[in-house]
Each structure stands twice: as C-alpha cells, then as structure tokens.
Chains A and B, each alone.
Chain A
Amino acid sequence: MIGKSAIVVLAIALIAASSSLLAQGVKSSLRGPAPLNEEGPAPPMTPMRNTAEREIRNYPEQPPVIPHSIDGYQVDMNGNKCLSCHARARTGESQAPMVSITHFMDRDGQFLASVSPRRYFCTECHVPQNVTTPPVTNDFVDIDSILNRAAPGGHR
C-alpha cells in the first residue's frame, strides 16, 4: 500500500520536474537564446585581421599571433606554406620575421639545422585573429600594468 502510493508520488514528481524543465529551457549567454535541445543559427563569419602589423604579446612567453589571413595555407606532411616566408633562408625576400631559434630545438635541448618536427605545425600555437567581440569578458592584466600600479611598499 505504502509502496504503491510512493510510486504514484514519484511519478507525479518526475512528470512535474520534466515538464518544468521543458518549459523553462536553459539559457546561456555563450550559446544564445536557442534551447538546449535545439541548435541555434550559426553566428556570421567575422572578418580576419589582415594588417600584417605585429601585435604586442600579452606576456613574454605568448606565441605571437598571426596578423594576416592564412586562408588556404597548406601545412601538412607535404609542405608548409608558412615556412616559405618565415624560414631562415626565406626572410630576406619576404621580410617576414624568422621562426624563433627555439623552434630548432629538439626536446633534449639540442639545436637542429632547421625547424624541429615537433614545432612544424605552426597553427598549434600561432593563430590568426578575427575582428569580433569576445563572448566571455576577460579581466587579464598585463604584468607591466601590475608592476606600474603597485609601488613597492606603497599604497595602491
């Protein structure tokens, strides 16, 4: 008797919960107003930054971002389009910055004659930039800003 009523209560609770979930829908600023079980329209493509002017790094170890379009650049086993400008021997003609010497190092710290295989795929770290507003705000502060505003021992 108790078991039967418990099942009935449980069933009612489940129905109420699921219906309220369906009615409510979960909203997130990242995925937009589309309900979880539907796929919203894709946002339009944003233009690619193509000024070819170097951007400052946010911290010294940051891989420099690519300030130009790389549409259709083939980087695979057969060839590396990036290196046809950024390789050591090509920088004279292209006036592009040379691939950093750290990229010639194998994992034991030995320098090789050219780009090390583990550093061959440029876009693993270096990425082109789109002109867009970030969906998530970021309060990152550059180390120089921190050093400048905090006088040692003084008040902020």
Chain B
Amino acid sequence: MSDVDKAPPGKGWFTRAWRFALELWDVLIRPSSVFGLGVLVLAGFVAGVIFWGGFNTALELTNTEKFCTGCHEMRDNVFAELKSTIHFTNRSGVRATCPDCHVPHNWTDKIARKMQASKEVWGHIFGSIDTRDKFIDNRLELALHEWARFKANDSLECRNCHSAQSMDITKQSPRASVAHQRFLFTGEKTCIDCHKGIAHHLPDMRGVPGWQ
C-alpha cells in the first residue's frame, strides 16, 4: 500500500483509481482486529435497517400527489384535468391520487416503474413538455404509453380498487351491466379497452382502435 501512496504522478487517473480500488479491496477482505464479530454483525444489521427504511421512506415520498404535482407539467395539465372527473370529486369523497393509478403497488413492479420514471426527470430538466403546446403535441404518445401499460398488466391499477368479484351488476345501469358481463367477466376485454379518458382529457383519437 505504501507503493500506492508513492505512485508516480502523471500515470493517469485510471491507474490511480484502479490502485485505490485494489487497496480498498485489501481492507475489505482483511478480518477486523479491533471490533468483535457480534459488534460488526449488529452494526451491519442496524445500518441495514436504517438504509432500507430510509430508502423506502424516500421512495414513498416520490409516491405522493404532492410530489407529482410539484412539477408544473403535471400540475397544470393532467392534474388540472383530473379535478373535474369522478376520480377526484364524487359523492362519497373517496378519491384516487396519481400513484394509485400510475404506480404499481407490487414492490418489484414499483421499482421497475420508478426506474422508467427517471426518463421523466430527464424530460423535466430538458423541458420536453414544459409548455402547453409541447404537452398537447406529445399527448398521444404519452397516453399510448399508459394504455400499453394498462393493457399489459390487465388494468391492474384499476383492479386494485375496482374488483370484478365485488362488482354488483344489479346496481349498475343496464348498459354497464350488459357490457361488463359480456366483455369484462369473460376476460375478452380489460378496463382500459373501453374506459379511456376517464381521468384525463383524450389526445387526438384518430387511429386508436374503437375510436373514430
């Protein structure tokens, strides 16, 4: 290790970094001569709990409506549109927030979606939809992504609240009751196939199947 310290300058940063990594590895694999095994295990455990809890807390913070509407792209476009729909205002006051529909609840799926969402951070920093016009121009593409996701997971985020088992079709309007029995219960279609644009305005629907 002493030879690392005396590494001749001008060897390039890569060489120095490599030597530092080797030195670090030497430290890491050498058994501790100061701390007991129990202390190390316990410290590792506590640090793990703190890290894991902190990670999940931070993750949950990014899973709130306050966080989502912190960016004007969301607040002025999609959130403003949500407010007049039944998923925001209704007779019983139960409502869906952004992550209820747009973030999977299952942990692994959630992490996968969060990794995808890093693209949205990029988009925010470089202003890909920072004006209303830009947003409207990209609206179809953005909507297509969400429809594809709902279609692929059989509208899982809808079904987190709207369970087909708990659906009392006798309380539905005749039209809804017939359509659900014919298409939903048979598995022929999934929620998003018919219920597009229920929480946000629709993009230009020309060419979207089922629309004129």
Contacts and interface: CB of A to CB of B under 8 A. Distances in A.
Interface of A: 50-53, 68-69, 71-72, 74, 77-81, 83-84, 87, 90, 93-95, 114-115
B175 interface: yes
Contact of B210 (A50, A53, A84): A84
Contacts of B210: 84, 90
B57 interface: no
Main secondary structure of the interface of A (DSSP, over half): loop
A78 B202 contact: yes
Given A50-B175, A84-B211, A114-B212, 7 more contacts: A50-B173, A50-B174, A51-B173, A69-B173, A79-B202, A83-B211, A84-B194
Query: Main SS of chain B's interface residues?
Result: loop
A53 B85 CA distance: 26
Contacts of A53: 174
A72 B83 CA distance: 12
Interface of B: 85-86, 173-175, 178-179, 183, 194, 197-198, 201-205, 208, 210-212
A77 B212 CA distance: 11
A74 B85 contact: no
A79 B173 contact: no
Contact of B86 (A72, A81, A94, A115): A72
Contacts of B202: 74, 78-79
B212 A72 contact: no
A115 B212 contact: yes
18 contacts: A50-B173, A51-B174, A68-B175, A69-B173, A72-B86, A72-B198, A74-B201, A74-B202, A78-B202, A78-B204, A79-B211, A79-B212, A80-B211, A83-B211, A83-B212, A84-B210, A87-B212, A115-B212
A90 B208 CA distance: 13
B132 to A, nearest CB: 14
A107 B194 CA distance: 33
Nearest to B204: A78
A74 B198 CA distance: 9
Contacts of A114: 212
A68 B212 CA distance: 21
A93 B204 CA distance: 23
Contacts of B211: 79-80, 83-84
A69 B175 CA distance: 10
